[in-house]
Structure 1
Amino acid sequence: MKMHKFLLLALACTWSLGASAQWQWIDKDGRKVFSDRAPPLDIPEKSILKQPGGNLGTSAAAKPVQPADSSEPGAAATPPTPKLPASTAGSGKDKELEEKKAQAEAAEAAKKKAEDEKIAKAKADNCTRARQAKATFESGRLITHSNAKGERVFLDDATRAAESKRIDGIIATDCAR
């Protein structure tokens, strides 16, 4: 039994090591970015806060290859690597991400619009019913309601005034446009 617990603990410890392989940098807008992939090439080395292995700025994926300076003795001149503009580097994934983001925002806007329409319809129905009730109360007719025992009783003046005040509150909130 102890061996099973030990193996489970060892598995949990090694499983969590994968989570430590994270990159952290500050993007051009000043926001911290956490990722399991290296930052784009346009992020300066000083903006990289953390990378897998704990070494800052030493990964080849994090910084572009610099051409050797021909003034240094023994340095071979290597042709400079063409640097892609920031707009085309990884643009396929960026476009997909932006499209998904736009679709999500459109879906959220449609959901909010539908919810607002539902609320507006409910308010309109409440307004119509409240105005009908107000007209009934102002007509002076006797009005009945059921008590707790299920018996029909006529409204007295105090109850009628309280109900009229409640209806006025509903009209004020649901009929205001």
Structure 2
Amino acid sequence: MFAMDLMHTLACAMRPFAARAALLAACALLAASPAQAQWKWISSAGVVQYSDQPPPSNIPAKNILAKPLAATAPQEPSASAAAASAASPPAKEQAQTQAARDLQQKLEQDKRAKEAAQNLQKQIEAQARQANCLQAQRQLQTLDSGVRMAEVDPQGNRTYVTDAQRAAQRQQAAAAIAANCR
């Protein structure tokens, strides 16, 4: 719940910046696209040529004045497509990689949830120990006070606690204190 509130707050705070960033990114893409896709060379007739395609194979390398940033040498379109497909992993491998990342992320979330549940369980147990400790301490104080104590049996009859019963209850209270008061 807290994470969702935090994400919402951040999203609201970032809206003005996000619009500016998107506009700047669009401008950068528009400005960079033609520059990266431009070839410039001197043709056999001595005329400067511009194109988004590589120059013909009969143009010597010394006459090529500019290349796109990604290009190192003139290539045929089919050769560049083959090189691109060889460089990028197949879609099936990418899907498996994404599935592996998703699984890893889910495992990490489960681990964090399990740790949070364990921490909550420890807190509950600590509170129960504290309550038991206080109850045992009060019971021991009552037993040590010397006040005459009575119990009610299942039939509703009142009976007084004997010295032996008081000693046994005192031992139980002392054991509870030792177990719960740390």
- Which TM-score applies when normalising by structure 1? 0.49
How high is the TM-score relative to the length of structure 2? 0.48
